[in-house]
Amino acid sequence: MISERSNGLFGIYIHWPFCAAKCPYCDFNSHVRHTPLDQAEFVKSYIKELSHFGALTKGKTVQSIFFGGGTPSLMEPRTVETILDAIAQNWSIDSEVEISLEANPTSVEANRFKGYKSAGINRVSLGVQSLRAEPLAKLGRMHSVAEAKLAVGIAQSIFDRFSFDLIYARPNQTLKEWEAELNEALLMSMGHLSLYQLTIEQGTRYYDLRAAGKLPMPDADLCADLYLLTQEITSAAGLPAYEISNHARLGDESRHNLLYWRYGEYAGIGPGAHGRLLVENIRYATSNHKQPEIWAKQVMENGSALVENDKLTWEEEGDEYLVMGLRLREGISPVRYHQLSSRQLDKAQIDDLSKIGFVETLPNGNIRVTDKGWPVLDAVVADLAM
């Protein structure tokens, strides 16, 4: 039975925290191990944790599974298969389930693609990040441009659904350079691209370099121009943004990411993974211990390694729905916002934002942020949450 606090969407996020190297811009929970990992032993903790969360969420049907990281393509196909088997033992699986895996385009990892498909993966997302050699090196990527293009071709030959990521607004990048690179990427695309502006996060090598004046980042005006150029080129190519950083042909959207942005439920499995779960009609925000070995030990002892398991207030749920849903081209439903938060959106505030062209009301009643409003999305969300 679906309560008014749920939209019936439920997924599983699997975090594989290991990487061959740490990229200088990355603030994700990732760890480099210089000795081989015993995956067969480590995966026992995933099985245990899946069982724990399965018991908490009985009766739910999994519509999407996402292997993120870290670098999930460092997993052996057998490891992936074992985890998918454990998911199937704890939940019903939708007949059209999307099962995605993030991968890097090194030749070693690309050679595993057939094994991943046999294990059950039906969608791959490649972390290409750039189609130019110098930016790849500065971003700390371990693959070459040639390897990236080869991996794209391999993925296209194996998987019916496929995407890759690029990072723009990089140090010293010009509009002309980005236009050429993006057009090249669109020729390689199968219907979905994730295009992220480079952000500098505290705790990263890039943060230290910028603080020392050694990272010449584009100014705000150039970043805005790069964003607008991105929207123009992708829309003209038939891959408009369905979310602020994600572009797809109709029907090729990432179902797992839509689950997040539509404020569905998901179990976060693995070191540092976050989740949002409704248990007895109360939404919990969960997160796991980040250190892999400590996480594994605690899970084997207790079934979970939670460092956060907080009940969200209705007001917090409403605010999260705004933050997530307003990233989407489809916008948010005022009716669902009221169901979650027990509050109404401020009509006067909506009218004011509409007058300056930042939001609009769709025929179905949804409120969405316009192209003009997306570059100042955080400010729009803050105004509506008041």
Q: What is the pLDDT of residue 3?
A: 60
pLDDT for residue 363 = 97
- Determine the average pLDDT of the residues in 75-80: 97
CA distance 307 to 296: 13
- Average pLDDT of 256-265? 97
Non-local CB neighbours of 268 within 8 Å, separated by 6+ positions:
13, 15, 274, 275, 286, 287, 288
Q: What domains can you pick out in the chain, each with its CATH number? A: 10-260 (3.20.20.70), 314-386 (1.10.10.920)
Mean pLDDT over 229-245 rounds to: 97
d(CA 44, CA 254): 29
Q: DSSP states of 94-160 as a string? A: EEEEEEEEEE---HHHHTTHHHHHHHT--EEEEEEE-SSHHHHHHTT-SS-HHHHHHHHHHHHHH-S
pLDDT of residue 11: 98
Examine the pLDDT at 105 and tell me if it is beyond 50. Answer: yes
For residues 103-130, give the mean pLDDT.
Answer: 92
CA dist 133 and 351 (Å) reads: 48
Residue 285 pLDDT level (bands cut at 50, 70, 90): very high
Highest mean pLDDT among 52-66, 210-224, 365-379: 52-66
Q: Residue 209 has which token pair? A: 């370099």
Query: Is 60 exceeded by the pLDDT of residue 1?
Result: no
pLDDT for 168 beyond 60: yes
344 with 338: CB under 8 angstroms? yes
Sign of the Cα torsion 349, 355, 357, 362 reads positive
Residue 386 has pLDDT above 80, yes or no: no
Interval 26-60: pLDDT, tens: 888 899 998 989 999 999 999 999 999 999 999 99
User: What does the pLDDT read at residue 345?
Assistant: 94
> What are the C-alpha distances in Å from 293 to residues 30, 180, 272?
13, 44, 12
Mean pLDDT along residues 252-266: 97
Residue 356 one-letter amino acid: I
| Helix then strand then coil, % of the chain, to nearest 5 | 40, 25, 35
User: Does residue 16 have a pLDDT over 50?
Assistant: yes
Distances from the Cα of 199 to the Cα of 218, 298, 382, angstroms: 11, 33, 20
Average pLDDT over residues 355-361: 96
Residue 365 token pair: 């009643």
Question: In this predicted structure, what is the pLDDT of residue 111?
Answer: 84
- Rg of the chain (C-alpha set): 21
The C-alpha atoms of residue 281 and residue 292 are separated, in whole angstroms, by: 31
Interval 303-353: pLDDT, tens: 999 999 999 999 999 999 999 999 999 999 999 999 999 999 999 999 999
d(CA 209, CA 268): 32
Instruction: Compare 385 and 335 and report the one with higher pLDDT.
Output: 335
- For residue 386, the number of C-alpha atoms closer than 13 Å in the C-beta half-sphere is 11
**Statement: the pTM of the whole predicted model exceeds 0.85:** yes
The model's confidence at residue 127, banded by pLDDT at 50, 70 and 90, is very high
